Structure 1
């Protein structure tokens, strides 16, 4: 279940890339992850801002809608 600071998958699919690193500062709107679903790539952008304190997925992982991708603090 997602908590404060969690960025979640907007759709189910396969993680193509994680575009941030631990400790990186991100702003709202920055690209954080790319997910492929039905041969279409969808960029996931941060809703908030902060420092990446945890990354819950890696390239190749399958995710469901609402799955936690990473956490910002």
Structure 2
């Protein structure tokens, strides 16, 4: 989720990618600074809403991870 309005500079995720907690997924440029948004948990990318070069608003979902499987643990 975009923490503030900004420009999507780098998009490191695509649907189906397996990601690990802390892995950089999006670089958002806001207020003349770059903010790296990282995966909050291990998972699989199920949706990429943002596009590189797109201007986004605060609170916009950029990348979604599939729901965690409760039976996997």
Structure 2, unmatched stretches of 5+, are 67-73
Q: How many residues are paired up? A: 66
Q: RMSD of the alignment, in Å?
A: 1.0
TM norm structure 2: 0.82
Rg bigger for which structure?
2
Q: Report the structure, 1 or 2, having the larger strand content.
A: 1
Write out the 4+ residue segments of structure 1 that deviate beyond 6 Å after TM superposition: none
Of 8, 27, 37, the residue aligned with 1:15 is: 8
Structure 1, unmatched stretches of 5+, are 1-7
Tell me: higher relative CO, structure 1 or 2? Use CA pairs within 8 A at least 6 residues apart.
Answer: 1
TM norm structure 1: 0.82
